[in-house]
């Protein structure tokens, strides 16, 4: 019994040390949750059919991503259940949700100001959207892969801007 307890305590201590070293390495690189390298910005309108699954898939990628990132979602005047779905998800998940009620407003600019990353990747999810393609592009970005922009032929526009200051 004593050996099992010793192994358990030793294993937990080793796990804690590994987590501490990982967080320290990220801190030294300047990529903390408060200062992520990458921001994913989604401007959405009337995407109730796909938004919950898409957001859950992207948030699940957070734990396996090489890059720390933040997720900002701007609803651009949806007339379906998209805002309600996003409000519900926002209560239990770590992303920024912004409702843009002004039809002449600038949802992209509003979203850019909320992004904290050194690099922002913008997805314009208006009209018919292929959620598998969006999720695949987001996963590739989170792995640090290069993506060619724009991708308007697939109902997604991806724009990169470096060193955005709020």
d(CA 131, CA 124): 12
Question: Would you say the C-alpha torsion 133, 58, 112, 121 has a positive or negative sign?
Answer: negative
Q: Strand runs (DSSP E) across the chain, as ranges?
A: 38-45, 69-76, 96-100, 119-126, 160-162
CA angle 160, 164, 166 (to 5 degrees): 135
Q: Is 60 exceeded by the pLDDT of residue 154?
A: no
- Asked if CATH classification 3.40.50.2300 holds for the domain at 31-162, the reply, yes or no, is no
What residue segments make up the domains of the chain, in order of their start?
1-30, 31-162
Report the predicted TM-score, pTM, of the whole model to 2 decimal places: 0.71
Q: Read off the tokens for 1.
A: 């019994």
Q: Is 70 exceeded by the pLDDT of residue 19?
A: no
Split at pLDDT 50, 70, 90, the class of 155 is low
């Amino acid at each position: 019994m004593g050996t099992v307890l010793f192994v358990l305590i030793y294993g937990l201590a080793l796990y804690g040390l590994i987590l501490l070293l990982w967080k320290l390495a990220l801190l030294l690189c300047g990529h903390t949750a408060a200062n992520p390298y990458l921001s994913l910005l989604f401007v959405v309108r009337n995407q109730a059919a796909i938004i919950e699954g898409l957001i859950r898939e992207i948030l699940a990628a957070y734990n396996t991503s090489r890059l720390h990132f933040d997720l900002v979602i701007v609803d651009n005047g949806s007339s379906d259940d998209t805002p309600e779905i996003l409000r519900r998800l926002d209560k239990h998940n770590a992303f920024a949700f912004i409702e843009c009620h002004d039809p002449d407003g600038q949802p992209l600019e509003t979203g850019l100001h909320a992004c904290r990353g050194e690099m922002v990747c913008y997805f314009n999810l208006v009209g018919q959207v292929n959620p598998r393609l969006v999720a695949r592009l987001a996963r590739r970005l989170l792995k640090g892969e290069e993506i060619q922009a724009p991708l308007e032929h697939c109902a997604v526009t991806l724009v990169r801007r470096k060193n955005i200051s709020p």
